[in-house]
Amino acid sequence: MWEWKFDRNPHRAPSAVAVHDGVVVGHYGGWAMPYRGAGGDLPGCAAVDVMTDPASRALGSGLFAGLTEAFCSLCREAGIPFYFGFPNERHRLVGERKAGYLPVEPAGLWSRPIGVPGLKGRLRRRFLRMRVGEEFSPAHDALVEGLHGRPGWRTDRSRPTLSWRFAPHAEARYRVVELLDRGARSRGYAVVRVVHDRALLVDLQARDEDSGDVGDLLEAVRASLEGTPAARMEIRAGSASRLAARLAAEFGFVPGEADCHFEIRPLDPAFDAPAAGRAFDYRYADHEIF
């Protein structure tokens, strides 16, 4: 898992370790995640694998504080204006109290039964141009510029990054569903991981989130899941996002109870990190365990 996360990642971000008497007693990992948006491109990362050796607790609270400050200093040197994470409730409180995290929102979660397509869905499926596989095709490249140029911020969705992100690792395997137009260019895609009876829409992006592409993409995902044990689809997204609004209003998704919080840690006083956090368009894929 760590080899995939840190060594195979096509991007780089700082990590920090604490050493006592020649032994590593703490680690604060930076999972490289460049940010893209209408405002330009920025270096970025998620904070992951933050831990200290239980045997080192006799060193006192200065161990965690020093480790945190070392990581923040390295991130500032790398030009990262803020980093983010998805802590659970207990770690959220620790992070806000000791590491300078700011809460943005409980991570949005929506789900719905997969169900059986009605007449409209069956007719729509007949005209869908879709590709299902384990890798992204060159058709994806036509989509990227539009995704990266949207208002707000999101992590890099280029093909090299996604090919690394969704390569099999730690027993996780993904299927990539690409929706194509008549010119064989991507209108959108979904990455799905089936876990027991749940189909996790680990990532879902459409060229135009106000168009029928979203409905077509969801129908393509449903078609790709036939023959699997999946009975429900789940997706994580920002609660104020356009996608979330349409999922609830048009496509039968209902909100669920968040199992974690989306939080940021500002690093550059000249950068409006709280505004960036509110405008951050995240998915399950921005959390490493998915």
Question: What's the length of the chain?
Answer: 290
DSSP secondary structure string, 95-123? HHHHS--EEEEEPPEEEEE-----HHHHH
Q: Does one domain contain both 246 and 266?
A: no
Query: Which CATH number do you get for residue 203?
Result: 3.40.630.30
User: 240: burial class by Cβ within 10 Å (0-12, 13-18, 19+)?
Assistant: middle
Task: Please report, as a single letter, which amino acid is at residue 249.
Answer: A
* 116 and 173 together in one domain: yes
> Model confidence over 137-184: pLDDT tens digits?
999 999 999 999 999 999 999 999 999 999 998 889 999 999 999 999
On whether both 89 and 132 belong to a single domain, the answer is no
Tens of pLDDT, residues 189-227:
999 999 999 999 999 999 999 999 999 999 999 999 999
Q: Are 229 and 149 found together in one domain?
A: yes
**213 and 143 together in one domain:** yes
Q: What percent of the chain has pLDDT over 90?
A: 84
Cβ atoms 151, 279 nearer than 8 A: yes
DSSP string across 192-236: EEEETTEEEEEEEEES-TTSTHHHHHHHHHHHHTTTSS--EEEEE
- Considering the domain architecture, whether residues 142 and 128 belong to the same structural domain is answered as yes
| Number of structural domains found in the chain | 2
**In a shared domain, residues 67 and 155:** no
Q: Are residues 218 and 247 in the same domain?
A: yes
100 and 117 part of one domain:
no
Domain housing 81: 2-107+259-286
Residues 126 and 101 in one domain: no
Same domain, 118 and 248: yes
Verify that 77 and 155 share a domain, yes or no: no
